[in-house]
Structures are given as structure tokens and as C-alpha cells.
A and B are shown apart, each in its own frame.
Chain A
Amino acid sequence: MNRRDFNKAAAAVGVASAFSPLNVRAQAQKLKVGVLLPRSGFQGLIGQSCQKGADLAPGVIRQMLGVDIELMNADTETNVDTARTRAERLIQEGANVLCGPFDSGAAAAIAQVAEQRGVPFIINIAAAPQITEQGYKFVFRNFPTAIDLTVNGLALIGDLFRVTNTVPRTAVFMHVNDTFGQAMNKGISATLPRLTNLPFRIVDTIAYDPAAKDLTVEVSKAKAANADFLLLVCRLNDAIILRREMVKQRWHPMGVVSPGSPGMYEEQFSKALGPIANYCISNAPWFNPKTNMTKVVKSAFAKANPKENFVFHGTNVVYTYESILIAADAFKRAKSTDPKALAEAIRQTNITDRTVLGGPLKFNAKGQVEGNLSACTQNLNGEPRVVLPESAAEAKPVFPAPDYKKA
């Protein structure tokens, strides 16, 4: 055999091995759920947190729904190209439904794949509103959009003032200049003027680079605005730098309040800052500490992660868990793993026993869940505690903060 023939043969073998027969989707006893999360790369920390929610899902779901799930995990590596190919790969390997991926960019990429292949995709966490505005039939999102977050967050701020009998007149608004921050900024500019029950107005808006390692100028500017409190949309690393800078510059407003962003309720924040992390308030999508399912998820989490504190992973865990719950619940009702049937069943979802704080889990015509609420959480004794809404509260809010010095 000369080289020419060898090459031809090798090519033929290659072609044959790449060829996969069409997946015959038979009526199966098990639901294969593809889980796409960023476990490495820039979002690795949060991705791994979400993964904990995914890992405990099969056990809890078997216990509570009697449904068998097989997880197929993939790492999107915080990279949109990887997200896309991994999604294709999971579908190729027989995933009946996809869940994930935490990031809006990756979500948009995976959504296209899911829609193209007709496989339901349930988004656990991603706030960009456009994703459910594309007219997709196979994409579902169980997470508030940036607009929902803004509206919920501002409403909670109003409640906070009402419950603590305070009337701050001015706020300085600082936000990260990334996808999330800009969306929140737009949302706040649009909704705040209409909310006449809120006593404050924003005296200055300062956008900062999420990658900035030094926020001296930003904090100086914010301090100079002489506002009553700080309204902050942030991420974890910059929140830590910011808070430290506030202390160094001796700026003690009534409080640091986030209308809806990660950062201040995360573990690193409290661990890195110690006592100065206390009294920071974050309005964020949260778990309902009082429901039955939350208690089950919490104990499953504790068993699997004995060294971790559930409250720090709560949001990531419950939203990821619920995305898989939705899949399992739909599977139970559809009694088949056929993607179209699953998608239809998902559309009819109505789950009342939930972990997430909010109304019943129902999708609207665009595949978006309305009614997921934020909780007002405050760092007290090194942990975020739910202080509002009062029905789910674990503690009373402290506002203004004890170190408040009138400017």
C-alpha cells in the first residue's frame, strides 16, 4: 500500500468514525440533563458555586418527585466559543435538555444552538433582557431580567426606608461598567423617576471599570457628592476594593445598598473585609428560607459540602437546582424525553413548592418566569440575612449603619 492509498483509507476511516447515526429518542426512564457552567476561567468561582446546586439536584429530585435524572456536566470555560461547542457536544451525546450557563453571552450562544437543534434550554442565571426577546420556542429562563431586578430592587429599598423610618433624600449611584451594570443603569434611569414613593433622588452617577484595581478616584468623587447613601451595582472584586477605599477615605454614608447585583452578599466579601462588611445591604434574587423544599435542598447541600455555608451559595444553588427541577417536572408530566414534548410540558410548568423567593414558577409566552422576587439581605455578623420581605425575614434591618457620620 503506498502513501496515497493509505491517506485515502485514513480519510475514509476518519469519515466513518465521525459519522453518528441519528439519535433515536426512545421512551426512556431517565432524563439526561446537560449542565453548562463556567467552572474555569474568569467566572470559575461562581460557576463552581452553581455546580453545587446541580450536583445535589438528582438526589433531591428523586426524593421529592420520584424522577430519575442523569447529569452531563460541561465546562464553558467562561468562553463563548467553548459554550457553543460544548452545547453541541452535549446534545450529540444525548442530552434531552440543557441547563445553565450563568453568563448572558454564553446564554445567547447556547440559545441559538438549542433553538436550532430543537432541544429545550433552561437558563438558570442570566440577566440580559434580550435573550427572551428573540422569539425562541425552546429557550426558557427562570431568572429575573435586569429590568425585573431593578424594579424589585427599588421597591425593596422603599420598603427598607418605610420599615426603618428613615427618609434619605439623596443617593450617589455607582455601577460597574459592564453588561450587567449598564443594564441596571438603564433600568434605574427609566424606573426611578416614576416611583414617587421613593424619597431620594440620585445626585451623581459614577461608572467604573470592573477590572480596575484601584478605585480611589471613583470613591473620592462619590464622597464629594455628599449624598445620604450609596446605591451600588457591583461585582465581587470591585465591591471589596470599594468598601476598603470607603473606610480609608473615612466615608460613612447611611448605608451601602445594592438594588440588585452580586458582590456584597458573597462569601469573599465578608471573609476579606471582616467587620467592615457588615450592614451592607444587597437586594438580590434569593432563596425563601421558610419553604419546605429549601430546607430539603439546604440539608442536601450541607451533606455534600460540610465545610461550606449555604447562605453564601444560596442564590446560585437554588436557581441552578430549580432549572433542573423544571426539567424533571416537565419530564414527569410529559412522560417522554422527546424534546418537543418536553418543551411543551415546560411551557405548562406550574410549580408552587419552590426554593426561590417569589410566586409560583410559571413561564409567560416568551419563556420568561415572572414573579421571581428579590430579597433584601443585610450582612449581619458576617453573613447575609434576609431582612425583607417581612414574610421571609430572618432579622430586622439596621439602617442607617452604626458608623454613619453625617457629611
Chain B
Amino acid sequence: MPLDLVVNVTIAGVLTGMVYGLMALGLSVIFGVVRVVNFAHGEMMTIAMYAAVALFTLWGVDPFLAAIPVGAAFFALGYLMQAGLINPFITRPEHSQFMLMVAVALIMVNGMLMAFGPDARNVQIGYQLESWELGKILFDKPRVYAAAMALATSGLLFLFFKATLVGKAIRACADNYLGARVVGLNVKHLYALTFGLGSACVAIAGCMMILLVDVTPNLGPSYTLLAFIIVIVGGLGSMTGALLGGVLIGLSEALAGLFIQPSAKSMFGFGLLILVLLFRPQGLMGKKS
């Protein structure tokens, strides 16, 4: 097997993994704090992708710039969803939460089908098909940009949670729900804020994802599953965990595809999940609870 093939596949695996990590970031934030199983995660990203397509088609907005308005819109959407719909479900058993989000996801997917039709939509930008060449090594431009965005977003989030008062308050809720309420924090508001933040992350991920993948209404479920795997492997509530988990999954899938069998590469993601669940359930970067 030629060396440049292995190197190229490895680099691609890492970059793709970072994009996956960006996608999972939102879930990590939400799941890590609010502890709600958001099975509509992938569908939300799909809606964000459609939004990016709309902005591009109507006004020629580059998805990078679109990330700002779409992110803001999703922040509001997430906040409302948590405060209005999901809040009563926090104390309910998991299967109820799950069913709630499944129903929401079903409505979202078919709503999109009704609104946009089954055709695949995409944006067509020059740099989408470009790559940087370094001898025989290729760097995929859109992926590099998306990976950079992933780093930037997680960096911002990290600062938010470490440095700002609100961020610290949210972490307090995650660490000790009862204690937070005792101290007088408005937990309901903070939860909604977290959901809003997580949703904004999902939106940004969607705007990046549209550079790589065409959007169809039923794109969601496979990404939801992937996001959960990454979050568990990487560790709940950890930004670095989400990125690391994403990279791990992306890399293992790439290498498995290269050395074994491409059509079975997803099995490795699941295999990794099973191993992590058994031997280190808090994830690679998570804290033992």
C-alpha cells in the first residue's frame, strides 16, 4: 500500500472527524447540561442546512457568513423549544423524552419534505471543489475550512463556559442541579439558554456541512446517531471531548475503510462505542460521575 495513500486517508479522516466533532458539539453541550436525549439533533442540523441553502440561493450569502444569522435564529429556536416543549420532560423517564424527540423529528423531517420536496439541495461555490497540494498529499479546502470553524466554535464555547458568569452558572447546574437551585440560579432559564447555545452550534455545523454534503429531508437520523456516538466516546459536556471523539471516529472509519472494507467502515464507529461504554463510560474526556 503506497505511503501517500495512507497519509492522505489519515489526513482526510482527521479533517472529516473534526467536522463530525463540530456537529456533535451542540449535542455535547445540551446533553451534558440538560441531560435530555435530543433525538432530533440531526434533523435540526438538516433544517440549518436548508436555511444556508435558502440564504445562498436567494441572496448569494456564503455559508460561512450565513452561520451568523442562522446560528442566532437557532439560538432563539432552541431556547423556545427547551422552555416551551422539553422542560417538563426533564424529570420524565428516558423513553418519554426519546418519544417526544422522535415525534418532533418526524414532524421536522416531513415538514421539510413538504416545504422543499425530496430533491437534494446544495450550494455551489468555487472553493468547494478545490484542494491544496503538497507533493502527493492533498488537503481538501472545504474540510479544512470546516475544521477551522470547528476549532473556533469550540474555542469560543470553552471561553464562554470558563470565563463568563453565565457560563459558570450553567456549569453549576450541570454539576449539581439541587445545589444550583438552592443558590438561587434560575435553572429553567439557564437550561433554555444551554439548549439555545447547543442549537446555535448545530446551526453552525449545518452551515459548514452544506459545503460537503447535499441536503435531503431524511439526512438527519444517521447524523443523530453519529453525534451520540461521538458525544459518548468523547465524554459528555466536554468541548475537547466532542472534537476528540469526532476525530477518533473519523480516523477509525477512514483507516478501517482503507485496510479492511469500505462498506463496513461504520461498524467501527459502533464497535468503538461499545468498547467505550464498557470500559470507560464517562468517555475519553469526561469526568467520572
Partner of B262, one of A213, A218, A267: A218
| Cross-chain contact B262 with A248 (CB below 8 angstroms) | no
A274 at the interface (CB under 8 A from B): yes
Nearest residue (CB) in A for B1 is A224
Partner of A216, one of B110, B129, B141, B254: B254
Partner of B131, one of A217, A218, A249: A249
| Cross-chain contact B261 with A224 (CB below 8 angstroms) | no
Measured between C-beta atoms, what is the minimum distance from A181 to chain B in Å? 9
Partner of B5, one of A209, A214, A224, A267: A224
- Bound complex: CA A213 to CA B128 (Å): 15
Partner of B9, one of A212, A217, A237, A241: A217
Q: Please, which residues of chain A bring their CB within 8 A of the CB of B216?
A: 237
Measured between C-beta atoms, what is the minimum distance from A156 to chain B in Å? 26
Q: Please, which residues of chain B bring their CB within 8 A of the CB of A221?
A: 5, 257-258, 262
Chain A: interface residue total (CB-CB under 8 A): 35
Measured between C-beta atoms, what is the minimum distance from A177 to chain B in Å? 4
- Size band of the B side of the interface? 35 or more
A-B residue pair count with CB separations less than 8 angstroms? 93
Within B110-163, which residues are at the interface with A (CB < 8 Å)? 110, 113, 117-120, 122, 124, 128-131, 133, 138, 140-141
Within B244-289, which residues are at the interface with A (CB < 8 Å)? 253-254, 257-258, 261-266
Within B10-35, which residues are at the interface with A (CB < 8 Å)? 12-13, 16
CB-CB under 8 A for A220 and B12, given A244-B128, A249-B131, A249-B138: yes
| Cross-chain contact B266 with A209 (CB below 8 angstroms) | yes
Per-position binary interface string of chain B over residues 206-224, scored 1 when its CB falls under 8 Å from any chain A CB and 0 otherwise: 0000001110101000100
Q: Please, which residues of chain A bring their CB within 8 A of the CB of B1?
A: 224
B2 at the interface (CB under 8 A from A): yes
Measured between C-beta atoms, what is the minimum distance from B102 to chain A in Å? 16
Question: Interface-forming stretch among A40-48, A87-95, A143-151?
Answer: A40-48
Q: Please, which residues of chain A bring their CB within 8 A of the CB of B138?
A: 248-250
- Bound complex: CA A212 to CA B130 (Å): 21
A230 at the interface (CB under 8 A from B): no
- Bound complex: CA A241 to CA B218 (Å): 16
Given contacts A244-B129, A267-B119, 9 further A-B contacts (CB under 8 A): A40-B110, A45-B118, A212-B262, A216-B12, A217-B258, A236-B120, A248-B130, A268-B119, A272-B120
Interface residues of B (CB under 8 A from A): 1-2, 5, 8-9, 12-13, 16, 110, 113, 117-120, 122, 124, 128-131, 133, 138, 140-141, 212-214, 216, 218, 222, 253-254, 257-258, 261-266
